[in-house]
Structure 1
């Protein structure tokens, strides 16, 4: 996939569940994640399942380590925190970014032991255009995912005055395959990037060794056009995480307000 980053209004965005930087061979290897991302040459990155200060990953702040290796700025949101150990999602960018919001997503009240879920929203500016990027990782239960999808589509996120009507991308690991209630809810309000590209056959991202499920998504709204989609599947991608990265080239429209 040829880079589009030479265009003033084009950028490459990547979403990737990195599984705590533990590969399908069981080895903890952040360097392999960095190599996969570097090979894709993205401008903006959404990562899920990052550890920070956790004993199981050597107390490394993975978002910071990956961002520093790639020469990018970042914002990390810990959906789960216990004492000094954190686990969550991040947005990285080689373009100027500002954090707009980071916070939790709802869950059924009768299931208090569910893993907390959240989202992080950053505004990415290039030239006179500002793109609203929201990265998330939804829950495992269908009821939970629908609640979280409704929240993301509501006033706190995509319908917020800073986001509504502007070029926006909602992406991440939704744990929701097409035809699921959560996916259909998202697709009824937003455009699935993989289905927005004429002639493109949507590709699965999980599990990385034998991808069968399309649960990692890029949804777009506003004046955003999809120019290319790729799911890299070389040996490095199959080893680095249990998910494959999803890479989308976008062209962003009119000037930011």
Structure 2
């Protein structure tokens, strides 16, 4: 399989560091990365503050990508949550609600068809409370352990690489961004800490990791390049063919 570029980006409902809501600026930043798989957090749908735009749909149209949306908060027509954009078709998607004490958080999964292989792509945004995040990570791991395809997990995890939650995640996943050491992602105008990550299951080979400099949000996008090893690709293809 050829190389794949993946991005995780908290877009803060397209509000840039200048305070302006500008969805086209988010689209331009994402286009510059040339990513084929994108996980987005803090995405609005028909919210007054972001001019009633369906942001996931709009970004999908602007970038000519397939898209799915997972609302965590719902006020009828107006919603707020995570989104996934994909160059490849989305076969199915699921929204999981995570245990939350403050703002409701969720995990969005899209199963994608990449040539001969299926891949599960997850996007999340964890809570602000450490106890809450620990419970959310445990639930995410329970979900991923049941996954029968190679996995990618992206998101804003609201904690650093020395956290308990990071240690739990890396018991079964690899920190794909960590291959470059510490990469600062927040705040975007003067990055001081890393709270945005991409984790992958062992079948993936990570080739590179970096941020992309943009002030379109208060976070920087993190981007990686990776490849699914041929041996594991064949294993998963055979599992798919024999699975009832």
Q: State TM-score, norm by structure 2.
A: 0.92
Q: Any unmatched runs of 5+ in structure 1?
A: 1-7
Pairs within 5 Å for 1:53-92: 53-92=46-85
Identify which of 214, 218, 222 aligns with 2:202. 222
| 1:49 corresponds to 2:42 | yes
Identify which of 3, 7, 10 aligns with 1:17. 10
Aligned residues of 2:205 and 2:228 also touching (Cα < 8 A): yes
Aligned residues of 1:79 and 1:103 also touching (Cα < 8 A): no
Aligned residues of 1:9 and 1:129 also touching (Cα < 8 A): no
Q: Distance in 2 between matches of 1:215 and 1:209?
A: 15
Q: 2:104 maps to what in 1?
A: 116
| 1:93 corresponds to 2:86 | yes
Tell me whether 121-130 or 35-44 shows the greater mean CA deviation.
121-130
In the TM superposition, structure 1's runs of 4+ consecutive aligned residues that sit over 3 Å from their partners are none
Aligned residues of 1:11 and 1:43 also touching (Cα < 8 A): yes
Which structure features the higher share of helix residues?
2
Q: 1:188 maps to what in 2?
A: 171
Identify which of 18, 29, 35 aligns with 2:22. 29
Identify which of 138, 145, 164 aligns with 1:159. 145
Number of residue pairs the alignment of both structures matches: 233
Q: Distance in 1 between matches of 2:174 and 2:35?
A: 21
